[in-house]
């Protein structure tokens, strides 16, 4: 993955600053969504209180008082978030302070309006459901402990009856709505949580795919798509070990494009790059699935042929030589002709990668000395 700071033309400091601003903007958007949900929840509670007021359970004056208090708390959170206050802290959601303030609001109004305490107890479920979206285990335990103490004060140190209004038909309707809407909001929060998990899962899958792509790119030659030198050398060592364990032959071929420097000089490097790519594709299309082919350096390539004797390797390389020589290279430039030379070596007992490569290189040198466009095996 490319770092923002690595983008050409953008100073590192500016790139880092832009990245930081982007992260903060994303966090701010996420917090705004959460505070919007809290505000909507308080609006629902206010509407329910209004029904209780019409039923005569509470006075109408309590409704705007609750609404104003809720909007002050929510608006204050939004204002602090929008000004970047939350970003000063490691927990940029300020879960514990946010829960504490909202819990104090709800329990405070339970003291003030015990006639509709059932509604406020439902609000506690909403508060803690919202907090669970972002709270760590430690924060959850701390908030639960604070709620336990607050509810103990509400239930044990007050004589006010905490009621669930159901005297009149309107009160029963309001209480039914409290229960239904509380459960509905919890379900909605669960759905929102599921959406967040799916988003995280997709992001994780994308990161895994990106990491896999990085690993692939780390093993591939950028120009030809073949394995790069580091990777093909690792594979050579693995194949040598496998051949020794299974007592099977392993042959390899060092392949060189004949007079490739003349192609670059005469037709230009872009044409030379296309020649290398076409050559690599041609070899790939004509080797076995378990053969390994990589760029050894420049116009030299290394082909590993597991479970292949020297005679079989000679036959395979001769066939590849003919295929490459017979390609219509004039498609790149009139008069162009591309051929290859290859040196073949077959591993012997106690051979190392260096020793067998030395023999293959010597065989390649002999093939060139013999006039190129030919195969030589040792």
Angstrom distance (rounded) from CA 363 to CA 357 = 10
Residues 376, 364: contact at Cβ < 8 Å?
Answer: yes
Q: In what order do the strands lie in the sheet with 340-346?
A: 292-297, 300-306, 250-257, 340-346, 375-377
Structure tokens at 52: 């209780």
Angstrom distance (rounded) from CA 341 to CA 360 = 12
Q: Which helix (H) or strand (E) holds 253?
A: strand 250-257
Q: How many CB atoms lie within 10 A of CB 281?
A: 13
Closest by alpha carbon to 2, among 200, 203, 217, 231? 217
Active site residue: 238, 299, 326, 369, which one?
A: 299
DSSP H helices in 250-309: 260-267, 269-285
Q: How many CB atoms lie within 10 A of CB 352?
A: 12
Phi-psi region of 225 (alpha: psi -120 to 50; beta: other; left: phi over 0): left
Q: Let me know if 326 is a catalytic residue.
A: no
Write out the catalytic residue numbers: 299
């Amino acid at each position: 993955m490319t770092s923002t700071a690595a983008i050409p033309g953008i100073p590192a400091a500016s790139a880092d600053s832009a990245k930081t601003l982007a992260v903060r903007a994303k966090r701010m958007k996420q917090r705004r969504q959460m505070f919007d949900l809290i505000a909507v929840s308080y609006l629902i509670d206010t509407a329910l209180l209004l029904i209780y007021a019409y039923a005569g359970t509470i006075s109408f004056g309590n409704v705007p008082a609750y609404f104003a208090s809720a909007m002050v708390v929510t608006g204050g959170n939004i204002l602090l978030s929008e000004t970047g206050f939350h970003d000063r802290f490691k927990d940029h959601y300020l879960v514990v302070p946010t829960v504490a303030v909202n819990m104090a609001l709800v329990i405070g109004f339970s003291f003030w309006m015990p006639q509709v305490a059932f509604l406020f107890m439902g609000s506690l479920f909403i508060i803690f459901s919202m907090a669970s979206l972002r709270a760590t285990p430690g924060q959850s335990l701390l908030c639960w402990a604070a709620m336990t103490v607050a509810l103990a004060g509400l239930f044990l140190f007050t004589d006010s009856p905490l009621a669930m209004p159901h005297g009149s038909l309107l009160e029963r309707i309001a209480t039914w709505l409290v229960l239904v809407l509380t459960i509905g909001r919890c379900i909605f929060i669960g759905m929102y949580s599921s959406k967040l998990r799916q988003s995280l899962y997709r992001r994780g899958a994308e990161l895994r795919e990106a990491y896999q792509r990085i690993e692939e790119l780390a093993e591939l030659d950028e120009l030809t798509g073949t394995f790069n030198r580091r990777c093909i050398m690792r594979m050579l060592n693995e194949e040598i070990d496998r051949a020794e364990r299974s007592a099977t032959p392993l042959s390899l071929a060092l392949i060189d494009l004949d007079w490739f420097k003349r192609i670059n000089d005469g037709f230009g490097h872009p044409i030379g790059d296309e020649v290398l790519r076409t050559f690599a594709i041609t070899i790939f299309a004509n080797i076995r699935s378990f053969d390994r082919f990589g760029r050894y350096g420049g116009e030299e390539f290394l082909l590993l042929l597991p479970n292949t004797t020297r005679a079989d390797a000679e036959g395979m390389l001769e066939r590849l030589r003919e295929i490459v020589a017979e390609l219509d290279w004039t498609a790149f430039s009139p008069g162009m002709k591309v051929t290859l030379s290859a040196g073949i070596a077959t591993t012997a007992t106690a051979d190392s990668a260096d020793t067998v490569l030395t023999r293959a290189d010597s065989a390649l040198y002999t093939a060139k000395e013999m006039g190129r466009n030919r195969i030589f095996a040792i």
